[in-house]
Each structure stands twice: as C-alpha cells, then as structure tokens.
Amino acid sequence: MVVASPLIIDATIRSALRIKGAEAAGVAANAARFYVEGDVVTLVRGTGAIPARVGWLVDVPLDARGRAPSLKKQRVLAFARPVAGRPEQIQLVARDAQRPWSPATDALTRRIATEAAGADAPPVVTGVKSAFFVPGSLPGEGETQIFLTTQDNRPAALSVLRRPGEQPRWSVALSEVIDENATAPTRDTLLWYRLACFLPAALPANAAAALSEEEAAHAREDYAFVMTQLGGCRAGLPGAGAPLSAGDGPA
C-alpha cells in the first residue's frame, strides 16, 4: 500500500458517521462503512500541502457481536490518493487502507516510503528470464544463477551457491555483474517485497529450457530454496479490494 499511495497521512479521527443504504453498497457482511474526518498529525508521504482536516470513506470490520468499533479519537495511517478538485477529501487506495497507528507501523511505513522514493529503489520484478547451473569441482558443489525480468529492463539476478557440508547461500544482484559480496534482502524491505510478491511460485519451464535435465533439476531446487527463504507474501491481506469512491457519503 505504501508504493501505491501518493498520500500517506498520519491523522487522528475527529468524527465518524456510519453510512447505510445505497451509499454502503458493496460492504462485506461483517463490516460497516463510515465517513470519517481526521485532523492531520503529519503528512508521511505526499508532494504538496494538504488541509489540516481531511475526510474519507472507510470500511471497518465488526466485532463478534456485530458491533462497529468506536473510531473517534483513534490515531490512524491512511494510505490514499487525492481527489481532484476536492482538497479536503482523500480516497483510500484499498478498502483496508486505514491502519491503526503504532510506532512500529509508522517506522516501517516511513522506511518503505523512503526506499520507494530513492534514486536507487529496486526495480519492479515481472518474472524470470533464464536460469543457468554451473557444477563445482566437488560432489554437491555448484552455483545457480537466475536472471529476472523487470518493468524498466534494469538487471536483476538471483544466485544460489552450494558447497559440501555448508548451508546453501543465496543473494540478489541489481547490476550487470553478479557481485560475490551480494547478500539476500532483509524481510519487509522493498526489494524483499518485489521478489517475494511478484516472482512465480516455481521456476518456469521455459527459463530452464536450455539446460540438461540434471542442470534443470538443480536450478528448480535452488529456485525453490530461494522462494522458501523469502517466505510468504502478505500482499493479499484480508479485506483488500477496490478503493472506495471518494464522492460517496456526506461532505
């Protein structure tokens, strides 16, 4: 949500009005829609000034008894986009794009926003181009290199090195030359996200088409090792969906 949000606002909710009827169309059975207004604490991400108070629509889950939570005075992070011609309104980028504020969430959000805005931000990974396996001089020794495709055609490659009696070591390189000192990305960094959430679950068959069956088996094994090390991607969070229309609900 950080990379999808032109605006990220740290705000304290001043008022919350539950929306019902036609204006609440599409709300899940276990959720309620509110129009909230929040006092801006700080603009975490954005290119210009915004009013001290902004409003937006949000769907929030109901509790086990079917009751809506009390939103007033909650401090939240709103991941949003501006509404053309209505500077006092914002539109959440997804139905669950309002998150409770906490020091940890705030720090993570700011770190990713800084990474995304940097000139050296990692490329958007779109797939796997090819894979190669080079056996070593000892049994069980070898290196797999997996070249990735990216949105802007910048280089990106995975490398898995195996040596007898040692744990496999993998790394990612973002240059034409695979650096021997390259390392694996830290979890919850932008590079980790762009690998974990956008690489295919298994090595595509066409990526290993030029390899022998034995070499392809090594490449598939090493690719699976990388995916296991990356861990699950949390992109598909519960409640995620299309953004709410900022024009719905009271102004």
Of 20-34, 50-64, 89-103, 214-228, give the lowest mean pLDDT range.
20-34
Of 37-46, 106-115, 233-242, give the lowest mean pLDDT range.
233-242
Domain presence at residue 2: no
Range(s) of the domain holding residue 18: 7-117
Q: Are 15 and 2 within 8 A, CB to CB?
A: no
Which pLDDT band, with edges at 50, 70 and 90, does 236 fall under?
very low
Domain presence at residue 243: no
Task: Report the pLDDT value the prediction gives residue 240, as an integer from 0 to 100.
Answer: 42
Query: Residue with structure tokens 């595509």?
Result: 204
Q: Do 129 and 62 have their domain in common?
A: no
Query: Residue with structure tokens 């931000």?
Result: 121
Per-residue pLDDT tens digits for 75-108: 999 999 999 999 999 999 998 899 999 999 999 9
Q: What is the mean pLDDT of the chain?
A: 90
Which pLDDT band, with edges at 50, 70 and 90, does 243 fall under?
low
Strand partners, 35: 17, 57
> Tokens at residue 41, please?
């604490």
Q: What radius of gyration, in Å, describes the C-alpha atoms of the chain?
A: 23
Q: Do 25 and 98 have their domain in common?
A: yes
What CA–CA distance (Å, rounded) separates 24 from 29?
11
Nearest Cα to Cα of residue 108 among 47, 188, 44, 42: 188
> Tokens at residue 234, please?
């949390």
Q: Are 144 and 207 within 8 A, CB to CB?
A: no
Q: Do 110 and 134 have their domain in common?
A: no
What average pLDDT score do residues 167-173 get? 94
Task: Report the pLDDT value the prediction gives residue 234, as an integer from 0 to 100.
Answer: 64
Please enumerate in sequence order all residues whose Cβ is within 8 A of that of 25, keeping only pairs 6 or more positions apart, or say none. none
Number of separate domains in the chain: 2
What CA–CA distance (Å, rounded) separates 215 from 207?
12
- Between these two residues, 180 and 193, which has the higher pLDDT value? 193
Dihedrals phi, psi of 219, to nearest 5 degrees: -65, -40
Task: Report the pLDDT value the prediction gives residue 239, as an integer from 0 to 100.
Answer: 39
Domain presence at residue 96: yes
What average pLDDT score do residues 219-247 get? 72
b/e code 92-118 from CB counts within 10 Å (16+ = b): bbbbbbbeebeeeebeebeebbebbee
177: pLDDT strictly greater than 50:
yes
Residue 89 per-residue DSSP state: B
Which pLDDT band, with edges at 50, 70 and 90, does 245 fall under?
low
Per-residue pLDDT tens digits for 130-162: 999 999 888 878 999 999 999 999 999 999 999
Q: Are 167 and 96 within 8 A, CB to CB?
A: no
Dihedrals phi, psi of 171, to nearest 5 degrees: -155, 170
Which pLDDT band, with edges at 50, 70 and 90, does 244 fall under?
low
> Tokens at residue 185, please?
């990305």
Q: Do 14 and 113 have their domain in common?
A: yes
Domain presence at residue 244: no
What average pLDDT score do residues 224-241 get? 72
248: pLDDT strictly greater than 70:
no
- Domain CATH for 41: 2.40.50
Which pLDDT band, with edges at 50, 70 and 90, does 249 fall under?
very low
- Between these two residues, 24 and 186, which has the higher pLDDT value? 186
Q: Do 43 and 137 have their domain in common?
A: no
| Residue 103 identity (one-letter amino acid) | P
Domain boundary among 99, 117, 135: 117
Q: Is 59 helix (H, G, I), strand (E, B) or coil?
A: strand
Sign of the dihedral defined by the CA atoms of residues 194, 197, 200, 202, in that order: positive
What average pLDDT score do residues 215-229 get? 96
Q: Do 113 and 159 have their domain in common?
A: no
Dihedrals phi, psi of 246, to nearest 5 degrees: -70, -20
Nearest Cα to Cα of residue 219 among 178, 150, 168, 151: 168
Q: Are 77 and 44 within 8 A, CB to CB?
A: yes
